[in-house]
Amino acid sequence: MKIIVTGAGGFVGRHLVAGLLARGDTVVGIDAVAAGIPDGARKVVGDIADGTLQADALQGGCDALVHLATVPGGAAEADPARSRRINIDAMYDLLERAAAAGNRPRIAYASSIAVLGHPLPATGVNDDTPLSPELVYGGHKAMMEIAVAMMSNRRMIDGISIRLPGILARPKGPSGMKSAFMSDLFHALQAGEAFTCPTRPAATIWAQSVAQCARNFIHAIDCDSSRMPPTRAVTLPALRISMGELAHQHGGACGRNRAPVRCLARSGKLATRPAAGSCIRDLSAAVCRRCIGCGFCR
C-alpha cells in the first residue's frame, strides 16, 4: 500500500513509519523536521499548511493517510490562532486534497481523549460518551473528528478517528504537550533522579505504550470501516493508573522505589501501594461492553 504519514518524524510517527516500512508499504513521510523521519520513506519536509507541500506529498494519490502532525495541547492553549491554522485549516485542506486525488483513501486521524474533557469519568468511557472539550486542543480535535465523519458520509474519504490516551514514554525534552510529565517520571526513575509530580498521587492517567499506539494506527489503516460507529471515532482501550501506582510499579521495575518522587499538589512521597482496580481490564471492559469487533484491544 502507499501510505502518507504526517508528523512522520515525531514520537508516534517514527514508530508507525518503521512498522509500515517493515511490512513492505511505500511510505511518504511529511514533517517540519527531516531528522526524525525514518530512512526508507520518501521525505517531504516543510509546513503541513503549505498547499504546494500537500500537493507534492499527494502526487499519484494514496491508499491511506495517517494524520499525526499537530500543534500539541500546551502550545495550542498558548497560541489558539496557530492551533486553528494547523490543527483545523491545514488538516481540512489536506483532507480535501486527499479526497480530490481520488481512490477515497482511508484516513486515520490521531484524535485525543482531550475531546472528552477533564476530568474523565472514573467509571470509564465508551464511544457514546459525549464530547465535552475544555482545552483549545481538545476542541479543535473534536471539530476535526466531525470533519472526518462528514467527509466519510459524503464518500469523499474513508475516515477513522482514534482517540489516543497519553502515549508513553516519549523521549526527554520539550514537546509542548501538557501530558509530558507522565513520560518525565519514567526518565527520572530510570536515571534515579528526583521528580516533582504536578498532580496529586491519586490522580489517574490514561496511558498506552507507543508500540501499541503504532499497531493501532496500522489496524486503523487495515480494518473494515463499515463496522465503525456513525461518528467514525473510537476511544482506544488504555491503562488507567494513578501517578502513585505508576511511580511504584515503574520504580520497582527500575529498582528505584526509593527515588525521591514528590508531589506538588500534596507534599510528601507518592503513594507506593497500588490502588485497587487500576487495571487495563477495567477500561477495556468499559470500552468494549458494546464490542463492534474493531480489534483495537488486541
Grid coordinates in use for 26? 511505500
183-188 contact pairs (CB < 8 A, 24+)? 185/243, 185/246, 185/247, 185/250, 185/261, 186/250, 188/259, 188/261
Residue 117 lies near ligand NAD (rule: CB under 6 A):
no
Side chain identity at residue 185, one-letter code? L
Residue 175 lies near ligand NAD (rule: CB under 6 A):
yes
Residues 6+ positions from 235 with CB-CB distance below 8 Å? 113, 116, 125, 126, 127, 129, 163, 287
- Kindly indicate which of the ranges 9-17, 55-63, 99-107, 152-160 contains the residues binding ligand NAD, using the contact rule CB under 6 A: 9-17
Residue 33 lies near ligand NAD (rule: CB under 6 A):
yes
Q: Which is nearer to ligand NAD, 7 or 251 (CB)?
A: 7
Residue 4 lies near ligand NAD (rule: CB under 6 A):
no
In this chain, which of 20, 27, 65, 72 binds ligand NAD, going by CB under 6 A? 72
Residues 6+ positions from 288 with CB-CB distance below 8 Å? 237, 297
Residues 136-155 that bind ligand NAD (CB under 6 A): none
In this chain, which of 166, 201, 237, 251 binds ligand NAD, going by CB under 6 A? 166
Residue 112 lies near ligand NAD (rule: CB under 6 A):
yes
Distance between CA 261 and CA 193 in Å, rounded? 8
Residues 6+ positions from 91 with CB-CB distance below 8 Å? 48, 67, 109, 144, 147
Q: Is 111 exposed, middle or buried (0-12, 13-18, 19+ CB in 10 A)?
A: buried
Residue 120 lies near ligand NAD (rule: CB under 6 A):
no
CB of 7 to ligand NAD, least distance (A): 3
In this chain, which of 65, 167, 238, 287 binds ligand NAD, going by CB under 6 A? 167
In this chain, which of 28, 58, 66, 164 binds ligand NAD, going by CB under 6 A? 164
Which residues lie near ligand NAD (CB under 6 A)?
Answer: 7, 9-13, 30-33, 36, 47-49, 68-70, 72, 86, 110, 112, 164, 166-167, 170, 175, 179
